[in-house]
Structure 1
Amino acid sequence: MKKCKIIYWISTSIIFVFDAVIPALTSHTPLAVEGIRHLAFPDYFRVQLTVFKVIGGLLLILPKVPARFKEWAYVGFGINFLSASIAHAVVDGVDFQTFFPLIIFGILIVSYLSHHKLRHQQTAEL
C-alpha cells in the first residue's frame, strides 16, 4: 500500500503542478495568450480553461474530496489532454507539442489507477 500511495502522490502532484499551478501563474502572460490565439480559440476560453484547471487540480490533490468529484476531475483533465493533442496536430502538424499532452495523459492514467487501487485497499481494510 505504501508503494501505491507514493505512486499516487507523485503522479497526482505532477498533474497538479502542470495543469493547475503553472496555468494559474502563467495564463495571463503574452506567451499563453498567443498560444491560445494560435490554436484559434477565443481569449475567454483561456480564462475559462484556467479556472477549470485550477478547480480540477484542487479536486485531485485535496484528500477529503468525495470520489465522485475526483472522477469528474479525471474525466475533465483527460478530455483536456486529448483535445490539446488534437488541436496541436491539426494546427501545427505532428510534432512534440502533439505528443506532450499525451505524455501528461499517461501520468493522469497512472494517478487514476493508483487512486482506485488505494480506494479498494482502504475499503478492504474496513
Structure 2
Amino acid sequence: MMKRTYRITTIIFLVILFLTAITDLMRMDFVLTTVRHLGYPDFLPLLIGTGKCIGIILLSLPRYTPWKEWGYAGFTVLFLSAAASHAFAGDALGHILPPLIFETLLLVSYFSMRKVVHNATA
C-alpha cells in the first residue's frame, strides 16, 4: 500500500512541477506579474524553473539515494518560501494555500518513500 501511495503522489507531484517549471522557464506573463507583485526580480523564475528541473530529476531517480533527500528539501524550501512571500505581501488565503497544498503532497510522497525504504531494509 505504501509503495502505491509513494508512486501515485510522486507522479502527480512531478507532473505538476514539470508544468510549472516550463511556465517559469518561459517567464510567462502571469508568472512575471506574480514575481513583480511579490517584489522579486524578473530573473527569479529562471532560477526557480532550473531548480525545479533539477529537483524533478532527483526525485525521479529509480532507487533511494541521499540525493532524493536534497530534492525533497529544496522543494520544501520553495513551497514554504512561496507561501510566506504571499503572506508577507498581504495576499489572500487563496494565494497562500496552493504552495502549502503542494507541500502536503510532497510530504505524503516523502514519508511514504521513507516507509517503503524502511520496509525494504527491515
TM-score, length of structure 2 as denominator length: 0.90
Q: Which residue of 2 aligns with 1:84?
A: 82
How far apart, in 2, do the equivalents of 1:122 and 1:115 lie? Answer: 11
Check whether the contact 1:85–1:97 (CA below 8 A) recurs between aligned residues. yes
What is the percent sequence identity of the aligned residues? 37
Check whether the contact 2:14–2:56 (CA below 8 A) recurs between aligned residues. yes
Structure 1 position 23, deviation (Å): 2.2
Q: Which residue of 1 aligns with 2:69?
A: 71
**How many matched pairs?**
120
Please give the secondary structure, in 1, of the residue aligned with 2:43: helix
Please give the secondary structure, in 1, of the residue aligned with 2:40: coil
Q: Which residue of 1 aligns with 2:94?
A: 96
Q: Deviations over 1:36-91 (max 9, x none)?
A: 11111112211011000111012112314x52110011111011111100111111
Ranges in structure 2 where 5+ consecutive residues have no aligned partner: none
Over aligned residue pairs, what C-alpha RMSD do you find?
Answer: 1.4
Structure 1 ranges of 4+ moved more than 4 A: none
TM-score, length of structure 1 as denominator length: 0.87
How far apart, in 2, do the equivalents of 1:38 and 1:14 lie? Answer: 28
Q: Which residue of 1 aligns with 2:104?
A: 106
Check whether the contact 2:83–2:99 (CA below 8 A) recurs between aligned residues. yes
Q: Deviations over 1:1-55 (max 9, x none)?
A: xx11110011111221222x11232122111122211111112211011000111
Q: Give the one of 110, 114, 117 matched to 1:116.
A: 114
Ranges in structure 1 where 5+ consecutive residues have no aligned partner: none
How far apart, in 2, do the equivalents of 1:88 and 1:14 lie? Answer: 24
